[in-house]
């Protein structure tokens, strides 16, 4: 609230309202009175001018018809009795312009003593015809009228009349001064009357205000306001007394409540202290339990990783055993054939055909050895890279399609007995720089999740893996299968730990939880799932890459 609003009082407001209303009323009334009086006086002047011009036109009509200038001027002498008339000109119409004022000539004039002739009034005759006009200085009133032939009613000419209007200005000044004086008197009277009523109206309010201030300072709510002789203020006093009674009752109840509150606080503090100690013990126990749970969860996750790696080692060892076995068999055959050739050579029974057959067989066996050793080297290299990626979380630049193929190659021992088809849709030139280890574990977990859960009771399943850049530094990986889908109650909790449909059948329920943590924490990305029962599942994984290029 502004200072002006705070300083505004009922006294000043009452005076302002009363004086504003009085001033507006008096100004309006005085203005209307001045306007009415001035218009009445002007109307009287106009009537007098019209009457004199009419009398003059009637007086000079006969002499003007006879074109007798002397008789016309003699007829104008009656204007000596009209003290306000200063100049009168008689204009005679010319034969070719009898009905207009544009073709007239001055025929005779009447000029009161000391007044000069007023020339050049022919063009104003029509404008002044029975419509008197004041001059700009309000000193003169001008009027004109047509002169008609009394017998033929033809226009003989015009009368121009100029009379003094100095009384009009004096009357205006007098009227304004009188009305201003009356208005000032009435304003002073209204002010004095407003002061009297102001005191009568505000004194009870001031008494009530003083009473409330004193009651507030002393906090004596047993006091009561005195009645007033003003009805509205008396009602206000009664309301104040009712309010004081309620405050007194409220204060009494408050003191009782405070006493009860103090007693309750004493007992409550003791209860809070006991509960606080119990809560501290419970919190400490909960913290220890959570730490054990987290440690147990980390151990299970690590066991999952090691189990996955162990299965991979076993599978790769079995897979490598085949080409190495073939190589050993081929080399054994070569050694046997070489022993026969050496024996024939020493006995000098070696034939050219036997030597040629040995060369052909050696060439074939060496090719078998080379192919199988190369196959074993590829398997070991792929296993080594996958194993390094699974155990490392450092970033490196790699071809995404090659990484997926290495993962599929490492899973081949587990998948070769199955008839599921895995389709990889990825630009072979797409290279990214990010953490290969989490991606490796994510894809392995998703594939094994489809094999174990999604393709249950399905002989030929389809898995699609698609990777593409959606922005310069953001990669989208889409994984989908056409398996049995995920029930809605499991789908809502799919990323929670220990959620599995193979409870009691070897399922730990940490596979998808591990995938979620790898996506959100290791890769700083996001993962979403779409699945309906019988319609398979789709995972959309989006994560940033430090740099990406398509070479």
Q: 488: Cβ–Cβ under 8 A, 6 or more apart, which residues?
A: 533
Q: What is the DSSP string of 91-149?
A: EEE-GGGTTSSSSEEEEEEEE-TTPPP----GGGTTTTBT--EE-TTSSEEEEEEEEE-
Of 111-115, 211-215, 253-257, the range with the lowest mean pLDDT is: 111-115
pLDDT recorded at residue 540: 95
Closest listed residue to residue 79, CA positions, set 69, 70, 89: 89
One fold for 3-186 and 393-550:
no
Model-level pTM? 0.38
Nearest to 466 by CA among 433, 507, 430, 499: 430
* Nearest-5° Cα angle at 147, 142 to 148: 155
What CATH architecture is 393-550? Answer: 2-Layer Sandwich (3.30)
Kindly list the distances between the CA atom of residue 100 and the CA atoms of 53, 74, 481, in Å, as whole numbers in the listed order: 18, 26, 112
**Tokens 């003989």 appear where?**
156
Per-residue pLDDT of 275-331, as tens digits, reads: 888 888 888 888 887 777 667 666 665 665 565 556 556 556 656 667 777 777 778
Which of 222-236, 385-399, 507-521 is least confident?
Answer: 385-399
- Residue 366's contacts (CB-CB under 8 Å, 6 or more residues apart) are 330, 334
Position 196 pLDDT exceeds 70: yes
311/361: higher pLDDT: 361
Query: Residue 120's pLDDT band (boundaries 50, 70, 90)?
Result: low
Q: What is the pLDDT of residues 14-56, one digit of tens each?
A: 777 777 887 888 888 888 887 887 778 777 777 887 888 788 8
Closest of 245, 275, 308, 256 to residue 437, by C-alpha: 308
**Phi/psi zone of residue 117: left (φ > 0), alpha (ψ -120 to 50 degrees), beta?**
beta
What pLDDT digit, counting tens, does each position of 231-286 carry?
A: 777 777 778 778 878 887 888 888 888 888 888 888 888 888 888 888 888 888 88
Which of 70-79, 109-118, 405-414, 468-477 shows the lowest mean pLDDT across its residues?
109-118
Average pLDDT on 1-25 reads: 68
How much is the average pLDDT of 201-207? 73
Q: What's the rounded Cα separation, in Å, for the pair 506 and 436?
A: 28
CA-nearest of 87, 60, 259, 76 to 149 is 60
- Scan for tokens 């004194």, then name that residue: 203
Domain boundaries, the chain: 3-186, 393-550
Radius of gyration of the chain (CA): 62
pLDDT averaged over the chain? 78
Q: Is it the case that residue 69 has pLDDT exceeding 50?
A: yes
Within 8 A by CB and 6+ apart from 84, the residues are: 48, 163, 164, 167
Q: How many separate helices (H) and strands (E) can be counted in the chain?
A: 11, 13
C-alpha separations of 434 from 114, 399, 443 in Å? 120, 11, 15
pLDDT exceeds cutoff 60 at 3 = no
Helix 231-346, helix 352-391: angle, nearest 10:
160
pLDDT at 506: 46
Please say if the pLDDT value at position 94 is more than 90: no
Between 383 and 184, whose confidence is greater?
Answer: 184
- Is residue 504 predicted with pLDDT exceeding 60? no
Count Cβ atoms below 10 Å from residue 329 Cβ, excluding itself: 14
pLDDT value of residue 478: 95
Residue 476 pLDDT: 93
Burial (CB count within 10 angstroms: exposed 0-12, middle 13-18, buried 19+), residue 455: buried
Q: Is 418 helix (H, G, I), strand (E, B) or coil?
A: coil
Q: Report the alpha-carbon distance of residue 13 to residue 97 in Å, rounded.
A: 72
Query: CA-to-CA distance for 467 and 409, rounded, in angstroms?
Result: 18
Domain 3-186 class, CATH top level:
alpha beta
State the first-to-last Cα distance of the chain, in angstroms, to the nearest integer: 72
Q: What is the pLDDT of residue 177?
A: 83
Rounded mean pLDDT of 433-453? 88
Q: What is the pLDDT of residue 548?
A: 59
**How is residue 347 annotated by DSSP?**
T
Among 75-89, 97-111, 441-455, the least confident range: 97-111
Q: How far is residue 308's CA from residue 5's CA, in Å, rounded to a whole number?
A: 82
Instruction: Taking residues 71-82, report their average pLDDT.
Output: 79
Whether the pLDDT of residue 469 is over 80: the answer is yes
What is the tens place of the pLDDT at every residue in 367-386?
777 777 776 766 666 555 55
The answer on pLDDT for 436 being more than 80 is yes
Percent of the chain topping pLDDT 90: 8
Residue 355 has pLDDT above 90, yes or no: no
Task: For residue 424, give every residue at least 6 positions away whose Cβ sits within 8 Å of its Cβ, in sequence order, or none.
Answer: 401, 404, 405, 408, 465
pLDDT at 425: 92
Is residue 209's pLDDT more than 70?
yes
pLDDT at 1: 46
């Amino acid at each position: 609230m502004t200072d002006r609003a705070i300083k505004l009082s009922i006294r000043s407001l009452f005076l302002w309202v009363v004086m504003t209303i009085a001033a507006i009323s008096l100004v309006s009334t005085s203005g209307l009175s001045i306007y009415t009086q001035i218009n009445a006086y002007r109307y009287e002047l106009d009537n007098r001018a019209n009457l004199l011009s009419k009398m003059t036109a009637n007086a000079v009509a006969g002499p003007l018809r006879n074109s007798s200038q002397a008789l016309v001027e003699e007829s104008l002498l009656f204007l000596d009795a009209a003290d306000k008339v200063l100049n009168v000109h008689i204009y005679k119409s010319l034969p070719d312009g009898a009905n207009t004022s544009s073709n007239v000539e001055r025929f005779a004039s009447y000029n009161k003593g000391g007044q000069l002739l007023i020339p050049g009034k022919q063009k104003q005759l029509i404008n002044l015809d029975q419509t008197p006009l004041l001059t700009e200085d309000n000193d003169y009133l001008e009027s004109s009228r047509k002169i008609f032939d009394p017998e033929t009613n033809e226009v003989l000419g015009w009368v121009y009349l100029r009379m003094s209007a100095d009384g009009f200005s004096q009357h205006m000044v007098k009227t304004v001064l009188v009305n201003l004086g009356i208005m000032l008197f009435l304003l002073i009277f209204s002010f004095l009357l407003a002061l009297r009523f102001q005191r009568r109206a505000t004194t009870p309010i001031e008494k009530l205000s003083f009473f409330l201030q004193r009651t507030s300072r002393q906090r004596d709510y047993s006091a009561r306001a005195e009645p007033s002789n003003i009805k509205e203020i008396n009602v206000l006093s009664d309301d104040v007394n009712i309010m004081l009674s309620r405050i007194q009752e409220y204060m009494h109840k408050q003191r009782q409540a405070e006493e009860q509150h103090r007693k309750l606080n004493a007992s409550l503090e003791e209860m809070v202290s006991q509960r606080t100690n119990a809560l501290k013990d419970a919190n400490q126990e909960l913290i220890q339990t959570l730490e054990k749970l987290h440690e147990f969860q980390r151990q299970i996750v690590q066991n999952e990783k090691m189990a996955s790696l162990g299965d991979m080692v076993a599978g790769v060892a079995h897979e490598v055993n085949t080409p190495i076995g073939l190589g050993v068999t081929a080399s054994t055959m070569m050694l046997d054939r070489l022993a026969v050739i050496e024996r024939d050579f020493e006995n000098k029974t070696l034939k050219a055909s036997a030597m040629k057959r040995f060369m052909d067989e050696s060439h074939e066996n060496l090719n078998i050895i080379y192919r199988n050793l190369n196959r074993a080297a590829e398997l070991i290299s792929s296993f080594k890279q996958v194993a390094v990626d699974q155990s490392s979380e450092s970033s490196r630049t790699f071809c995404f399609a090659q990484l997926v193929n290495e993962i599929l190659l490492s899973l081949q021992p587990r998948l070769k007995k199955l008839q599921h088809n895995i389709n990889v849709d990825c630009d072979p030139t797409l290279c990214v720089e990010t953490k290969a280890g989490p991606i490796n574990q994510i894809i392995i977990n998703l594939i094994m999740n489809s094999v174990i859960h999604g393709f249950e009771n399905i002989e030929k399943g389809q898995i699609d893996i698609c990777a593409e850049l959606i922005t310069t530094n953001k990669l989208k990986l889409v994984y989908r299968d056409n398996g049995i889908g995920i029930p809605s109650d499991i789908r809502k909790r799919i990323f929670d730990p220990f959620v599995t449909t193979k409870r009691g059948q070897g399922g730990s329920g940490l596979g998808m939880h591990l995938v979620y943590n790898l996506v959100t924490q290791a890769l700083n990305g996001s993962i979403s799932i779409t699945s309906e029962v019988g319609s398979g599942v789709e995972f959309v994984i989006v994560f940033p890459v430090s740099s990406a290029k398509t070479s």
